[in-house]
Structure 1
Amino acid sequence: MGHGVYALARVAVVVRAPAVLLWWPGLLAAGIGVLVPGLTGRTVGLSAGAALFVIAACVGCVARRGRYAALARDASRAGKAVILQDRLVTLRIWRRAHRWWLLLAFLAAVGSSFVLPTAGGLLMAGSALGQWGKALWLGRWEREHEALLWVRTEAAGRGGAAAKEVPGYLLTGTAAGDARPGGARGGGARAGRPRAGGARAGR
């Protein structure tokens, strides 16, 4: 896939990016909701919120897994010279691109508490948990195949790591980049330096 120097972002890091930014604001919104009686009352709100939490977590964890699996199965080895984007840079770019959407989601979750206390906040938190679950699933794939999944940054930026605009994933060895399988913080080579792709592709 492509020749020359190009930038790659870790697929699992892109998937994990919304998790923290939804989790803590979601819990905060739910906490605010506890203080608001709402039209339906706290008991009904908490029950509905718990159900939404579970549903959102399950849906977030399994959504588009077939697409991710297909892209991973057909992944090719990265080119001889690639720039591996730092984990924190990927998170920062995602946060900057979605900051207004996240703010509106938080305000909507708080506002919904006046009707159904805590439900909106727990929905946000459940969505975050689902993304964490999907990242862990990707991490299992990476460990089993002894390879890391990467995506071209310009493709992922248009709609996520499994968007229809993503033509495919690329593989490197597990020592590449600065994040462990699944996208968690870890050691390794720093981004921003051209590296030989696929030191151990695991294909």
Structure 2
Amino acid sequence: MDDSDQQSTVQDRALPPGKVSCRNLGWCVDICREQKLDLNSLLRNLPFEKEHLEDPGNFIDWHSFRTLSDRFLHHFAEHEIRTAGRHSWQHNTMAGYKLMGSFNHSLIAHYTLGFGPQGFIAKLFPCELAIKKITDKHLEISLVMKDNLPPCRSFHMFLAGQMAGLTEVYDYEPAEVDIYQTNQGAKFNVTYSHVSPTLYKAKKNHSKSFNSQYVRP
């Protein structure tokens, strides 16, 4: 089995009830590395170590994830957690989700694949999501935890950053994302400038074609 088949198998595995997939947790490792913070110190009294988080095929329970996420609030400001979310698109475990844009002709379609009812967040975390188009430049995304699990504010901050960073995949400015906490989760208002994945891909192809004409033999 090659790497792509293995990655597909991991992605297709059903999420056990009350569990979180480690596939979207690379940011935990990255932010600690960038800020020179010992991640293992944040994992004290939790039933796993850093190496467990680094394997995208692993799972952790929601309550442990919530404890870990909340501990980040003791070391990082909200904007730093949001920035980690924005930058998470560059993590190698997110490559497949980032490439979803290659098959889409609208930014809303890419947001739906990420943050819609059948999107990857709903498959990696024990929550249900809904997405509503308000205008061509404004989306409303709602998140409700499953099985009466308690919500997690720091998790919402990370998601807000990830939502903001999706437009950067197309070389546009990050989207503006406002969070409204609820008893069962959160609502996110996402606004952005007009983004055309089709135009973005055309520009990329034109740039490649232009550069290839000037490559030295």
Fold shared per TM-score above 0.5: no
Structure 1 or 2, whichever has the larger Rg, is 1
TM-score, normalization by structure 2: 0.27
Looking at secondary structure, tell me which structure has more strand per residue.
2
- Higher normalized contact order (CA 8 Å, seq sep 6+, divided by chain length): 1
